[in-house]
Amino acid sequence: MTKGQFGMKNRILLKNEDETKLFGEKIGSAITQKLLICLNGDLGAGKTCITKGIAKGLGIMDDITSPTFILVEEYEGRLPLYHFDVYRIDDTEELYFIGFDDYLSKNAVVIIEWSDKIESILPKDRLEIRLDYTEDGMREICLNPVGEAAQTLVETMAKN
């Protein structure tokens, strides 16, 4: 999978913050099995914002905060959610100290903001999400499902 090759059919315009959260909720509601979600896009593009929606769709009531300084936040929902932000990671070794592989092996949803920074240590199967600013200050979201779990999820979303 080459980075940045997202099919046009999976590009959607999100007009404001509420739409970003609602789209996240749609993703979260459609999740039925273990899934890795890789979030990329510039600072302020909406990675944490969409994570809030995904968490809501997973039945998580907690307030989702950005785990930039602590690397990972854990939540209990229909499936556990582990929310990472690896923006400040300089060396992937740092992740081994917090048991990163254990998180990935659990029956859970793992969301990683800035996953491109640690691409070399990530499994291929995942839902890739890219958020971009549009010229008029909205956001464009691109979904690229890789592997069976992510593909099933996107098909479920398309039906609902």
Binding residues vs ligand ADP (CB under 6 A): 14-17, 19-20, 41, 43-49, 113, 137-139
17 binds, among ligand ADP, Mg ion, none (CB under 5 to 8 A by kind): ligand ADP
In angstroms, give the least distance from the CB of 16 to ligand ADP. 5
Place of tokens 């009531």: 61
Closest separation in Å from C-beta 131 to Mg ion = 10
Residue 51 and residue 111 in contact, taking contact as beta carbons nearer than 8 Å: yes
Which CB atom, from 21 or from 47, has the smaller least distance to Mg ion?
A: 47
Binding site partner of 112, from Mg ion, ligand ADP, none, Cβ cut-off 5-8 A by kind: none
**Residue 140 binds what, of Mg ion, ligand ADP, none (CB under 5 to 8 Å, by partner type)?**
none
Phi, psi of 10, rounded to the nearest 5 degrees: -100, 15
E strands in the chain: 11-14, 35-40, 72-75, 81-85, 109-113, 126-133, 139-146
CB of 159 to Mg ion, least distance (A): 30
Q: To which residue do tokens 């659990």 refer?
A: 106
Which of Mg ion, ligand ADP, none binds 45 (CB below 5-8 Å, type-dependent)? ligand ADP
Task: Give the list of residues 6+ apart from residue 127 with CB closer than 8 angstroms, or none.
Answer: 27, 35, 36, 37, 38, 143, 144, 145, 146, 150, 153, 154
Q: How far apart are CA 28 and CA 135, in angstroms?
A: 28
Q: Looking at beta carbons only, is 48 or 144 nearer to ligand ADP? A: 48
Q: How far is the CB of 56 from Mg ion (least distance, A)?
A: 16
